Amino acid sequence: MSTFTQPWRRRQEIPDPQVRDAADQFESARKVLFAQPPSSGLLLPLMNAAAIAIELYLKCLSAEKVYTDAGKGISKVSAAPAMRGHGLTDLLREVGDDVKFELDLAFRPEVSAFGDLSFQDALKKCEGVFKESRYPFEPNSDVSKYPLGLLMACSDFLQQFVAKLPTRETIQYA
């Protein structure tokens, strides 16, 4: 039986490549859906794909590496988000302050068509779209309260931001 020990408490690679890959796939799907004509009946999947892409991009900016003993001195490497859930502003709180600052700085000129919004303010306007795009038939559900253009801009912005972000590795020892 092998003994697996790790000399660190927490290890991160920001952006996490595994979580980013999943985010990129949802962003690609969002772009395919967005290219469809307005009468295609794909609004809810479009909104959902955007919400998932945004969520995963935020999670790739705070995920932790997980090393699982696979035997014979080999580890399986996976990722765990800093928090579970779909709350976009909650996920943003998990992102390091330096990256949050860069996000906000890069975001304002990108979405000037929507006013002088901070990145956090934009996420607040998109908060809840994941649930509502899945359950539009529930009482009090109203997907029209989410600005579709801003949702698309946030998803596109995060894809571009994460693609340009230099990889940062951190290790916290026990």
Q: What is the reported pLDDT for 73?
A: 78
Flag whether pLDDT at 4 surpasses 60: no
Question: In this structure, are residues 106 and 39 in contact, taking their beta carbons and an 8 Å threshold?
Answer: no
Q: What is the reported pLDDT for 108?
A: 78
Residue 127 makes CB contacts below 8 A (sequence gap 6+) with: 87, 88, 89
In tens, the pLDDT along 52-104 reads: 999 999 999 998 887 777 888 787 887 877 778 889 999 999 999 999 999 98
Q: Domains in the chain, ordered, with CATH? A: 12-166 (1.20.120.330)
Whole-model pTM?
0.87
Question: In this structure, are residues 71 and 2 in contact, taking their beta carbons and an 8 Å threshold?
Answer: yes
Flag whether pLDDT at 9 surpasses 70: no
Tokens of 162: 């994460």
Strand ranges (E), the chain: 8-14, 64-71, 74-80, 168-173
